[in-house]
Amino acid sequence: MNAVSEDVAKLTEKELESANEYQHLAMRTATHKCYDLANAALGLTGEAGEVADIIKKHLYQGHGLYPSEVIEELGDVLWYVALMADYFNVTLGFVMQQNIAKLKARYPEGFDPVRSVNREYKAELLTMEQWEAVVREIRKELGEEEQDE
Ligand SMILES: [Mg+2]
């Protein structure tokens, strides 16, 4: 196990299951019409924009900053992240694992501006074949049928 997979392994099964359960519960409200790439992308950026708008109004227009408002919008962002993950047939837990792997590969000792500019981390990320093998494994664990495409 290398340093990247060690960090990914720190996400416990329980944590991944919680994320996947969130995705399952959140997608209860996703209609067939929601499963559209443009809807997912525009919804995600729209909700992120709502977060930015709250901060903008606080910083430049004298509005109060209420964490509950920001947190509510973060939840809306998360809903669209879950939708996009669903669209690509991956779990939210898998998205989390991929992100941790990328961060560990890019910044093994924490943020480093030099590594930020020279992003050689990509060689350490999963290849498409590895990615597809992981997705197949997740689908198998979820009891989903292999789909011919
Ligand atoms: Mg919102």
pLDDT at 149: 46
Structural contact between residues 56 and 26, judged by C-beta atoms closer than 8 angstroms: no
Predicted TM-score (pTM) of this structure = 0.75
Considering the domain delimited by 3-141, tell me its CATH architecture: Orthogonal Bundle (1.10)
Q: Residue 110 in 3-state DSSP?
A: strand
Q: Residue 108 gets which letter from DSSP?
A: B
CA distance 96 to 87: 16
Structural contact between residues 4 and 11, judged by C-beta atoms closer than 8 angstroms: no
CA distance 76 to 121: 30
- Domain ranges within the chain, ordered by starting residue: 3-141
Give the Å distance between the CA of 50 and the centre of ligand 1. 6
Give the Å distance between the CA of 129 and the centre of ligand 1. 36
Q: At what angle do helices 67-87 and 13-26 cross, to 10 degrees?
A: 90
List residues, by chain if needed, whose CB lies under 5 Å from ion ligand 1: 47, 50, 73, 76
Give the Å distance between the CA of 130 and the centre of ligand 1. 35
How confident is the prediction along the chain (149 residues), in pLDDT tens digits per residue? Answer: 677 777 777 788 888 899 999 999 999 999 999 999 999 999 999 999 999 999 999 999 999 999 999 999 999 999 999 999 999 999 999 999 999 888 888 888 888 887 777 765 454 556 667 766 766 676 676 666 555 44
